[in-house]
């Protein structure tokens, strides 16, 4: 068995609902989920744009001080960095954009790739991000790629923000999502794309339960995540 036999990967662009789906899927399966965007965001918030001027060795050395740890299962899964829950400060679109910029740096990707793989070696995971099925876990047992138009993703983000009493400008959100798409899809290393063996789901006209249902039916029809149990 390879280290990624018990991994389900979910990749897709910003705002497509990967984290929500990963949480729900992990809850149903009784395993943990890993929000790899949160790892990039945490490093981005701490290192800032200065990382773009640093050598690979310097980045690796600074990053070695950040210890990520997963605890719990399903919707109660929590990601800790240096013993503290990752901060809600990482959740702004500005930090998302900064994370997307720093995610182009090979040293940052290499550091996080090692951590992500060792987490999956320790426990079965639903891992969500941009390169989970293509680069990090090419042997994952199940791979999904979620997509929806930038307009729909921006609309969902806006409704989310409104539910948290944070009114947002739809045109600005759509523009930010488009920009991040370009940056994530066109970078040289580990660009956002569907793995050739991923199940692609256009979520534009589907709600969360429908997407989850499609995934679970596919997993069940292929023998489940743990076929030998």
Distance separating alpha carbons of residues 84 and 151, to the nearest angstrom: 35
Among 33, 131, 157, 215, binds ligand DC (CB under 6 A): 131
Question: Judged by CB under 6 A, which stretch of 20-28, 126-134, 196-204, 213-221 contacts ligand DC?
Answer: 126-134
Q: Which is nearer to ligand DC, 194 or 224 (CB)?
A: 194
Distance separating alpha carbons of residues 45 and 48, to the nearest angstrom: 6
| CB 26 within 8 Å of CB 77 | yes
Query: Any contact of residue 37 with ligand DC (CB under 6 A)?
Result: yes
∠ CA 121-124-128, rounded to 5°: 95
- What residues are paired with 134 via a beta bridge? none
Query: Any contact of residue 40 with ligand DC (CB under 6 A)?
Result: yes
In order, the DSSP letters of 165-190 are T----HHHHHHHHHHHHHHHHH-SSS
Read off the DSSP letter of residue 31: -
Read off the DSSP letter of residue 6: T
Report the residue closest to ligand DC, judged by CB: 37
Query: Any contact of residue 96 with ligand DC (CB under 6 A)?
Result: yes
Query: Any contact of residue 180 with ligand DC (CB under 6 A)?
Result: yes
Query: Any contact of residue 103 with ligand DC (CB under 6 A)?
Result: yes
Query: Any contact of residue 203 with ligand DC (CB under 6 A)?
Result: no
Among 32, 36, 134, 176, binds ligand DC (CB under 6 A): 36
Min CB(131)–ligand DC separation in Å = 5
Query: Any contact of residue 12 with ligand DC (CB under 6 A)?
Result: no
Q: Which is nearer to ligand DC, 29 or 127 (CB)?
A: 127
Q: Which is nearer to ligand DC, 164 or 229 (CB)?
A: 164
Find the length of the chain. 229
Q: How many CB atoms lie within 10 A of CB 147?
A: 16
Query: Any contact of residue 93 with ligand DC (CB under 6 A)?
Result: no
Read off the DSSP letter of residue 136: I
Residues binding ligand DC (CB under 6 A): 14, 36-37, 40-41, 96, 99-100, 103, 129-131, 180, 184
């Amino acid at each position: 068995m390879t280290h990624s036999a018990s991994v389900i990967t979910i990749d897709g662009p910003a705002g497509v609902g990967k984290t929500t789906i990963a949480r729900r899927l992990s809850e149903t399966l009784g395993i943990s989920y890993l929000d790899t965007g949160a790892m990039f965001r945490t490093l981005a918030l701490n290192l800032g744009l200065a990382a773009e001027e640093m050598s690979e060795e310097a980045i690796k050395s600074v990053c070695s001080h950040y210890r990520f740890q997963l605890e719990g299962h399903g919707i109660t899964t929590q990601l800790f960095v240096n013993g503290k829950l990752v901060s809600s400060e990482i959740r702004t679109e500005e930090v998302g954009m900064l994370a997307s910029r720093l995610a182009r740096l090979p040293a940052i990707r290499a550091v996080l790739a090692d951590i992500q793989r060792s987490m999956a070696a320790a426990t079965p995971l639903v891992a969500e991000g941009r390169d989970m099925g293509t680069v990090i876990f090419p042997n994952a047992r199940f791979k999904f790629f979620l997509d929806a138009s930038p307009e729909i993703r921006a609309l969902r983000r806006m409704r989310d923000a409104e539910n948290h009493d944070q009114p947002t400008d739809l045109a600005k959100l759509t523009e930010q999502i488009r920009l991040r798409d370009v940056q994530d899809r066109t970078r040289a290393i580990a660009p956002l794309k569907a793995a050739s063996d991923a199940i692609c789901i256009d979520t534009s006209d589907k709600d969360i339960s429908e997407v989850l249902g499609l995934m679970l039916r596919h997993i069940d029809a292929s023998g489940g995540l743990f076929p030998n149990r």
